[in-house]
A = this chain, B = another copy of it.
């Protein structure tokens, strides 16, 4: 039985709670929050201030926190006392974050499994495996159709925008013709962005549209579609959290091309990310039991570590 704690109670935290409760070999001990725990109708909430009271009572702590500031600030502090699993997803900062977490975990004979989820995570794993098998070729990653939280936030900050959501959409015509794509394309070549905006009354839609499509780093390089909709339509059509994507490697071998493609089609992005987190809780615990302290990622994890039990795997999967 692995005793688990969750830090954070947003969409990811709630998915984790539901999934851990379904695991026969895990027990959810507490969910830690910076809010007043009594303000949340859930008997397992606990103040983050009391987290150290749970040393020795929780085996693995899952950090269901944002990557912008929360994980970089709180991860190192928590990993000093607990084994941790996180979904840190600021790709450019992962090596630096790994180094910091690795040092602290090792000093404390603990394990931190970082940057799990699907990208980084499963997609990273498949990019590496595909390139190891097919070293000559090109890899393209497609994201979506799904919501980009960062782009949605950026649009919501525009004057006159009451609410907004942004979908990243891979160009299907490129995926269909991937056999003939000879290089790793830029993200703006392979995706379009579609925005649904609820405008404030009296706001100038053309001004909003212009501000969106010219926004540096976010939209300016992309083909962008802006739709203005009513608040009712927004609530009815745009509150789900579907996502997905593809990692596709086209490899050259002596007798042709070989295509390796991993695809995800997700009804619920937080449920799937949490599902990967749960498999990584098992892996984290196994690294710990093997005294393999420090930071780990999907790249160095023996796949059996994810399995819910290790019985008869050869019979079952090979």
Across-interface contacts of A298 in B (CB, < 8 A) = 303
Closest Cβ of chain B: how far from A303's Cβ, in Å? 6
A116-157 interface code vs B (CB 8 A; 1 in, 0 out):
000010101111110111111000000000000000000000
**CB closest residue in chain B, given A296:** B302
Q: A271-B255, A299-B313, A318-B91 are in contact. Are A132 and B306 (CB under 8 A)?
A: yes
| A268–B297 touching, CB < 8 Å | no
A249-289 interface code vs B (CB 8 A; 1 in, 0 out):
00101111111111111111011101110110010000000
Q: Does A301 contact B (CB under 8 A)?
A: yes
Closest Cβ of chain B: how far from A257's Cβ, in Å? 5
| Interface SS of chain A | helix
Closest Cβ of chain B: how far from A102's Cβ, in Å? 11
Of B299, B301, B306, the residue contacting A317 (CB under 8 A) is B299
Across-interface contacts of A115 in B (CB, < 8 A) = 318
Q: Does A42 contact B (CB under 8 A)?
A: no
Residues of A in contact (CB 8 Å), total 72
**CB closest residue in chain B, given A314:** B95
Closest Cβ of chain B: how far from A98's Cβ, in Å? 6
Across-interface contacts of A256 in B (CB, < 8 A) = 242, 266-268, 271
Of B132, B251, B254, B314, the residue contacting A94 (CB under 8 A) is B314
Of B94, B244, B257, B268, the residue contacting A318 (CB under 8 A) is B94
Closest Cβ of chain B: how far from A282's Cβ, in Å? 8
Across-interface contacts of A18 in B (CB, < 8 A) = 253-254
Bound: A79/B317 CA distance, A: 24
Closest Cβ of chain B: how far from A91's Cβ, in Å? 7
Q: Does A68 contact B (CB under 8 A)?
A: no
Q: Does A308 contact B (CB under 8 A)?
A: yes
Q: Does A19 contact B (CB under 8 A)?
A: yes
Closest Cβ of chain B: how far from A93's Cβ, in Å? 10
Across-interface contacts of A95 in B (CB, < 8 A) = 312, 314-315
Of B23, B278, B307, the residue contacting A128 (CB under 8 A) is B307
| A317–B127 touching, CB < 8 Å | yes
Across-interface contacts of A318 in B (CB, < 8 A) = 91, 94, 115, 120, 124, 297, 299
Q: Does A22 contact B (CB under 8 A)?
A: yes
| A300–B304 touching, CB < 8 Å | yes
Q: Does A84 contact B (CB under 8 A)?
A: no
Interface residues of A (CB under 8 A from B): 15, 18-19, 22-23, 91, 94-95, 98, 115, 120, 122, 124-129, 131-136, 179, 241-242, 244, 251, 253-268, 270-272, 274-276, 278-279, 282, 297-304, 306-308, 312-318
| Beyond A18-B253, A132-B308, A258-B265, 12 additional pairs, beta carbon < 8 A | A18-B254, A95-B312, A124-B318, A128-B316, A129-B279, A132-B307, A251-B275, A253-B268, A254-B271, A260-B263, A298-B303, A299-B313
